[in-house]
Chain A
Amino acid sequence: MHKNAALWGALFVLGIGLFFLIYSLEYPLRSNIGPGPGMIPFAVSFIVIVLSLILLYQAIRRPLYIRDVLPKSEGAKKIAMVLVSAVVYLVVVPYTGFVIASAILLFILYVRHYRWYVSVGLAVGVSLLSFWVFDILLKIPLPVNGLGW
């Protein structure tokens, strides 16, 4: 049961439906001019819940196993690295600023494919170049450190 990805999906949808349904009760269903701000969210989340029950039924009848859905080892590692690099980026960027954080992100992703010194070169070069393009050339706001980069 717990290996059935479709079931988890259906439960997730059910959860979203319940969240919005319960939350929508906080808002008036009717107002003095007609339907209130809670009315449509209530109706929509109610339909979502009903549909998620159908999905639940389908998921039990036709399971979709997690191992068939998730990528095999190599692909899974790559995907994990993307997510890890994203988390690292979000954690460090408020302190280090755009250039260093981007270089770290790129390094994490490149080092699996290139020698470490090539990866360092690529990472630093690309982040400096993109800083130049985005910040100096195009004047797009970037997350920068106290020194402005």
Chain B
Amino acid sequence: MDTIQLLLQGIENATTWSNLLYCLIGVTVGMLVGVMPGIGPVTGTAVLIPLTFGMDPVSAIIMLAGIYYGAMYGGTITSVLINIPGESASVITCIDGYQMTLQGRGGTALGVSAIGSFIGGVVAIAGLATLAPALAKFALRFGPAEYFSIMAMGLMMLMGLMGKSIVRGLIAALIGLLLSFIGMDFVSGESRFTLGSLELQRGIDFVPMALGLFGISEILLSLEEKINAAKPSQVKRLLPERHEWKPTMKAIGRGTGIGFLMGLIPGANAVIASLISYSVEKKVAKDPSRFGKGAIEGVAAPETANNACSGSAMIPLFTLGIPSSPTMAVLFGAFIMHGLTPGPTLFQRNPDFVWAIVASMLIGNILLLIMNLPMAKLWAKIAMIPYHLLYPLILMISIVGAYSLNNSLWDVGVMFVFGIVGYAMKKLDFPLAAMILTFVLGRQIESSLLQSLTLSDGSLAIFFSSPLSALFMTIAILILVFSVVNGFRNKRKLAVSESEI
């Protein structure tokens, strides 16, 4: 009962004119980011962070979160109509979605995706509203050892599931951690690794780093490839045939479940959720050979899953303070900039804030459903803007974003350096996601580790002394061992390409 009351209050907060406007701006930018290849949700959210400085935290996070789930909707449109995924969680949708377009059923593909995304999104929000408070209460009991092991588990999952070389994953993660040590150490008061530079004294800011690693490197990579956007075909008839409703709704149901569960796991992201749900659909189908030839379930399920995942991914962020993907990491940073600490205490200290965000996500999903069903064609046209017209603009906006953070050109320089680093890392197959996550979590990782070791007088056994911590640690170690063994055999079943979701 309490929950409903809080949610109603949240709706009241979220439906002020200004918050509705910010929600609309957020989901619109999200759609744009989703539709345009060469700019992803990480860049979209990071660029807009400086814009939010003057706002109150509720409006700021409403807008930034809107970009995230809005991008999930937007990515579908280009995947289906022109066979180019606007963001990586929609890669799998290209397979059957574009086939449907070739058969003249592009409208239906978009229709079921929008419906599925909406259902997945709303169920995930309902899950967030019901599960998160309990989970947060539970997480209040976590000590530093539990925290450290749950972060270790999340990071190992990320690396294990991304299917890259575990050595490269670990290196990326650990370098991210080392970079987070630069600057003032809050435990000892010592300033570390600053090379005597005043700028490094306050550490590397994550906004220019995220903009560089994801935004600039994405521009550089896109310039290499020729993006040939075909003219999108006519969008007709958005709803499926009568006999298709039942299998479609079943697929949406499965997609919702899979996406929701994947979102709960720190380290699993929307890309993985959509891939898994696609392969599940293929397995449960009576005739798997239809997949790849325009199977409607192959569009409905993964699109539902990535949306459900983007909703439930808020749960680990809100309750544990652990971002599970780079976009979440940026959101995490935005929380901190606005003086909010994501984690179990958030529900106690800032219930208004949490419930307003939850309510705004509900509103945002409704806005997106409206934007997607009748307006799909319009969005597809935006994808036709030639890239050579677009990327200088993205570059300039990124510069503004990096500069305005601290009014300093130093940050612009940092952004470009990380742009080149990110480009090289992608070329050499290092996962960027691992690096940004450890970087953002660096302070928490170090302090929870230090606190644990102080409690135990330097013995690592503390991570196995409580059942919960032991469980997390064991899972982390199992994933590590499994990945190493698997790496030697060089067999990867679930190889996922680099993603920034």
Taking Cβ atoms with an 8 Å cutoff, the residues of A that contact B are 5-6, 9, 13, 16, 20, 23-24, 27, 31, 33-37, 39-41, 44-45, 47-48, 51-52, 54-55, 58, 64, 69, 71-72, 75, 78-79, 82-83, 85-86, 89-90, 93-94, 102, 105-106, 109-110, 112-113, 126-127, 130, 134, 138-143
Contacts and interface: CB of A to CB of B under 8 A. Distances in A.
Nearest to B412: A90
Interface string B407-428: 1010011001000100010011
B335 interface: no
A145 B416 CA distance: 22
Contact of A20 (B167, B178, B223, B404): B178
Contacts of B260: none
A75 B168 contact: no
Contacts of B427: 5, 69
B428 A9 contact: yes
A94 B174 contact: no
Contacts of A139: 54
A34 B392 contact: no
A110 B413 CA distance: 22
B185 A23 contact: no
Nearest to A52: B171
Contacts of A23: 192-193
Given A20-B178, A51-B170, A141 B404 contact: yes
Contacts of B391: 82, 109
B400 A41 contact: no
Given A35-B458, A36-B188, A109-B395, 11 more contacts: A5-B428, A20-B178, A35-B450, A37-B185, A41-B192, A72-B224, A75-B223, A79-B223, A82-B219, A89-B412, A113-B389
Contacts of B188: 27, 31, 36-37
A16 B424 CA distance: 15
Top-10 shortest CB links A-B: A34-B454, A75-B224, A37-B188, A109-B392, A71-B224, A78-B223, A9-B428, A113-B388, A140-B404, A37-B190
A140 B400 contact: yes
A106 B50 CA distance: 22
Contacts, number: 142
A44 B178 contact: yes
A44 B177 contact: yes
Nearest to B407: A141
B437 to A, nearest CB: 15
Interface of B: 50-51, 54, 167-168, 170-171, 174-175, 177-178, 181, 185, 187-188, 190, 192-193, 219-220, 223-225, 386, 388-389, 391-393, 395-397, 399-400, 403-404, 407, 409, 412-413, 416, 420, 424, 427-428, 430, 446, 449-450, 453-454, 457-458
Contact of B220 (A35, A41, A79, A134): A79
A136 to B, nearest CB: 13
Contacts of B404: 134, 140-142
Given A34-B450, A75-B224, A48 B178 contact: yes
Nearest to A113: B388
Nearest to B424: A9
27 contacts: A16-B175, A20-B181, A27-B188, A31-B188, A33-B454, A34-B453, A34-B454, A35-B450, A36-B188, A48-B174, A71-B224, A75-B223, A75-B225, A78-B223, A82-B391, A82-B395, A83-B420, A105-B395, A109-B391, A110-B388, A110-B389, A110-B392, A113-B388, A130-B400, A134-B404, A139-B54, A143-B409
Main secondary structure of the interface of A (DSSP, over half): helix
Nearest to B403: A143
Given A41-B192, A78-B223, A90-B412, A130 B167 contact: no
B171 to A, nearest CB: 5
Contacts of A90: 409, 412-413, 416
A16 B181 CA distance: 13
Contact of A51 (B167, B177, B458): B167
Contact of B174 (A44, A71, A140): A44
Contacts of A48: 171, 174-175, 178
Given A34-B458, A94-B409, A134-B400, A27 B192 contact: yes
Contact of A86 (B171, B178, B416, B430): B416
Nearest to A59: B428
Contacts of A134: 400, 404
B168 A106 contact: no
Nearest to A23: B193
Contacts of A55: 167-168, 171
B463 to A, nearest CB: 14
B51 A140 contact: yes
Given A48-B171, A130-B396, A141-B403, A41 B223 contact: no
B303 to A, nearest CB: 32
Contacts of B428: 5-6, 9, 64, 69
Contacts of B193: 20, 23-24, 41
A74 to B, nearest CB: 9
Contacts of B181: 20, 40-41
A45 B181 CA distance: 11
Contact of A13 (B171, B400, B409): B171
Contacts of B168: 55
A146 to B, nearest CB: 16
A59 B57 CA distance: 47
A140 B50 contact: yes
A136 B473 CA distance: 52
Contact of A126 (B50, B393, B453): B393
A58 B487 CA distance: 12
Contact of B450 (A40, A45, A72, A106): A40
